[in-house]
């Protein structure tokens, strides 16, 4: 097993390029199942979750090749419609094959994902939506068995805006007969990219990026050709890296419109954010001010940035309250940050952070993807050495983060445990 070692206390300076967005690449890879032919997706990041998605596509019978950073996916010979437990348990986003398989083949068998480190994470809203489109769904030995003799458009009002649920329904409804209206849909930039990609395949989708999406079903879709958008969560993580070290970093590929909530909070901490031609420059404050945040769906403060922002608050002056409203159990990083000297108390769905501590390096353990980024950020701001173990979580969603941070001057490297 590998670990990341960080010698903290270095101010970061320079430029860093953001990779393609994991959370956009995954639905795009699965959307290729909707067409019969060869799709090409470029700017796909090199991550463990992407490898899992490719494994799943191959398991279904797709031929997948990687050439010069672009994936070619041939979906002409799909022989299986089953997403097995082994793959779904490693990556929950595997449930996104449900909509495409059902719409194109009338049948899908997908393992139920079960819980994960950050909470229960059910898929009941995906299933309810697909049932409204005319799918017959029953649960069998831990698998969702979905069949249909033809999906038909319907009006679906989500109980809460779900990113994956909206994506599954967008894909399924694109090949359904007639009109589908999704109400209370998720509005994340990844939803907009998926809708644009589906439209380029011949789908008729309007309203993506708003709470109401209208889909006119079509009989068939053409293969996909597209370029994955930059990863706003990776970009946000580098923005905080600049802020927490009092540095000056140009984050190439960071898109202002996708980061408004984070930008306004970083400005409150005293950081300066300057939009430049191809990204955002972040100049860290001399002293970080404490601010409160409350996670919510886009365009609110992203839950995927909560752990990283908490690392920043551990070195801020004053007290901040961070409330998590999207996931029920997303404070696993708190105990590890405490081991590095942070003063944090949990109060229900909130964490109260008394900042201005000098964080001290310690051996810590990554508990989930974004928690691991939080520990690395805390390590950058700590005295002495921090060793982050269980970094397979990190490798699910950050491409070469230690190399990118090292290029900004950080003393950080990967070692065998
Ligand atoms: C996606 C992101 C993840 C991010 C999350 C919220 C991907 C691959 N992952 O996850 O990084 O943290 O959005 O921004 O894009 N829920 C239900 N029933 C459902 C579906 C969801 O109750 O059927 C609940 C969840 O438990 C959670 C909330 O809705 O509390 C939001 O989840 P959702 O938006 O679906 O997250 P994911 O798509 O799984």
> Whose alpha carbon is nearest atom 29 of ligand 1?
162
* The pLDDT value given to residue 417: 85
Q: Which domains are delineated in the chain?
A: 2-18+230-416 (3.65.10.10), 22-227 (3.65.10.10)
* The pLDDT value given to residue 116: 60
Averaged pLDDT of the chain: 95
Give the Å distance between the CA of 122 and the centre of ligand 1. Answer: 9
- Residue 93 DSSP SS3: helix
> Whose alpha carbon is nearest atom 4 of ligand 1?
304
Q: How far is CA 3 from CA 377, 390, 393, 413, in A?
A: 15, 7, 11, 8
- Residue 171 DSSP SS3: helix
**Residue 298 near residue 275, CB atoms below 8 Å:** no
Is the beta carbon of 304 within 6 A of some atom in ligand 1? yes
Is the beta carbon of 96 within 6 A of some atom in ligand 1? no
* The pLDDT value given to residue 114: 63
- Per DSSP, the residues of 119-177 read B----HHHHHHHHHTT-EEEEETTEEEEE-S--B--EEE-SS--HHHHHHHHHHHHTSB
- Kindly tell me if the per-residue pLDDT of 120 is higher than 70: no
- Kindly tell me if the per-residue pLDDT of 118 is higher than 70: no
Q: Is the overall model pTM greater than 0.75, yes or no?
A: yes
Residues 184-192: what's their mean pLDDT? Answer: 98
Residues 209-218: what's their mean pLDDT? Answer: 98
* The pLDDT value given to residue 357: 74
* The pLDDT value given to residue 117: 62
Decide which of 218 and 329 is more confident: 218
Give the Å distance between the CA of 171 and the centre of ligand 1. Answer: 17
- Of 71-80, 82-91, 116-125, 382-391, the range with the lowest mean pLDDT is 116-125
- Kindly tell me if the per-residue pLDDT of 254 is higher than 60: yes
Residues 16-23: what's their mean pLDDT? Answer: 98
Q: How far is CA 98 from CA 50, 80, 214, 313, in A?
A: 17, 12, 20, 40
* The pLDDT value given to residue 30: 98
pLDDT tens figures, 310-327: 999 999 999 999 999 999
- Of 20-24, 26-30, 72-76, 359-363, the range with the lowest mean pLDDT is 359-363
Is the beta carbon of 266 within 6 A of some atom in ligand 1? no
Is the beta carbon of 349 within 6 A of some atom in ligand 1? no
What percentage of the chain carries pLDDT values higher than 90? 93
Residues 20-29: what's their mean pLDDT? Answer: 98
Q: How far is CA 373 from CA 48, 291, 376, in A?
A: 15, 20, 5
Decide which of 121 and 4 is more confident: 4
Residues 141-170: what's their mean pLDDT? Answer: 96
pLDDT tens figures, 345-398: 999 999 999 997 789 999 999 999 999 999 999 999 998 999 999 999 999 999
Q: Where are the beta strands (DSSP E) in 11-114?
A: 13-17, 38-42, 63-67, 70-74, 82-83, 107-111
* The pLDDT value given to residue 329: 81
**Residue 312 near residue 268, CB atoms below 8 Å:** no
pLDDT tens figures, 262-291: 999 999 999 999 999 999 999 999 999 999
Any catalytic annotation for residue 42? no
Q: Locate 377 and state its tokens.
A: 């950020």
């Amino acid at each position: 097993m590998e670990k990341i070692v960080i010698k903290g206390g270095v101010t970061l300076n320079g430029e860093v390029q953001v990779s393609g967005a994991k959370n956009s690449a995954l639905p795009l890879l699965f959307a290729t199942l909707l067409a019969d032919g060869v799709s090409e997706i470029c700017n796909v990041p090199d991550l463990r979750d992407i490898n899992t998605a490719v494994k799943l596509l191959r398991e279904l019978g797709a031929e997948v090749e990687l050439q010069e950073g672009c994936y070619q996916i041939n979906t002409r010979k799909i022989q299986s419609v089953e997403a097995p437990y082994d793959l779904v348990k490693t990556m929950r986003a595997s449930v996104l094959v449900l909509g495409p398989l059902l719409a194109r083949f009338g049948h899908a068998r997908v393992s139920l994902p079960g819980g994960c480190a950050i909470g229960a994470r059910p898929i009941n809203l995906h299933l309810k939506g697909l049932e409204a489109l005319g799918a017959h769904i029953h649960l069998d030995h831990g698998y969702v068995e979905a069949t249909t003799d033809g999906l038909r458009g319907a009006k679906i009002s989500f109980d809460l805006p779900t990113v994956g649920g909206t994506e599954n329904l967008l894909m399924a409804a694109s090949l359904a007969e007639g009109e589908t209206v999704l109400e209370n849909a998720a509005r994340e930039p990844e939803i907009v990219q998926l809708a644009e990609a589906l439209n380029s395949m011949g789908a008729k989708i309007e309203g993506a990026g708003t709470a109401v999406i209208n889909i006119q079903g079509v009989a068939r879709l053409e293969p996909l050709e597209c370029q994955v958008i930059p990863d706003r969560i990776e970009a946000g993580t580098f923005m905080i890296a600049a802020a927490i070290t009092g540095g000056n970093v140009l984050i190439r590929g960071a898109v202002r419109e996708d980061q408004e909530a984070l930008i306004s909070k970083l400005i409150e901490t005293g950081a300066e954010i300057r939009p430049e031609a191809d990204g955002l420059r972040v100049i860290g404050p001399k002293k970080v001010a404490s601010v409160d945040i409350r996670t919510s769906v886009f365009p609110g403060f992203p839950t995927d940035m909560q752990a990283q922002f908490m690392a920043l608050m551990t070195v801020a002056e004053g007290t901040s309250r961070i409330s998590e409203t999207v996931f029920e159990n997303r404070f696993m990083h708190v105990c590890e940050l405490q081991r590095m000297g942070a003063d944090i108390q949990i109060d229900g769905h909130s964490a109260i952070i008394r900042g201005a501590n000098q964080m001290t390096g310690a051996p810590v353990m990554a508990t989930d993807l974004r928690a691991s980024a939080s520990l690395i950020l805390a390590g950058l701001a700590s005295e002495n050495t921090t060793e982050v173990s269980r970094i397979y979580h990190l490798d699910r969603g950050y491409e070469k983060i230690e190399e990118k941070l090292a290029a900004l001057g950080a003393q950080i490297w990967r070692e065998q445990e």
